[in-house]
Amino acid sequence: MLFSSSILEIAIGLVLVYFIGSVIVSHLNEGVAGIFNLRANSLFKGIIDLLNDEDSAEELYKNPLIQNLYSQKLGGGKRPTSYITSRTFVLTLFTKINEGAEKVPSSLEELRKQVKNSAFLYNRHARPC
């Protein structure tokens, strides 16, 4: 016996078995999530819910800032991103909001007016919250 207490040895053995088991299950979970693009699909659905319109979310995803986040698939093609930084999301959203504007807002009040009048955020297909 390494330790004088068999209870202590059993406890250490159980902790080790549970740790190894959790690492294996976590690895399998990450593999399945990666194969089926679960995070990327959840992110896209979340952006659809945020913008209240699938067409607006698709327009947002066409922006080069987000397109650059896509990764290469093994067989060719691109895999959608599973993470968009808050900075990238805000820059992309402001780019879409300012698309038809005459000037870039210089104050918070001008920005609020521009967002309120934006056809991108308040389109005819938006469903009520």
Q: Give the C-alpha distances (Å, rounded to integers) separating 48 from 39, 41, 45, 96, 115.
A: 14, 11, 5, 15, 18
Alpha carbon distance 15, 128 (integer Å): 51
Q: Where are the domains of the chain?
A: 37-116
Q: Are 88 and 69 in contact (CB under 8 A)?
A: yes
User: What pLDDT digit, counting tens, does each position of 55-81 carry?
Assistant: 989 999 999 999 999 988 777 788 889
pLDDT in tens, 15-56: 999 999 999 999 999 999 988 999 999 999 999 999 888 998
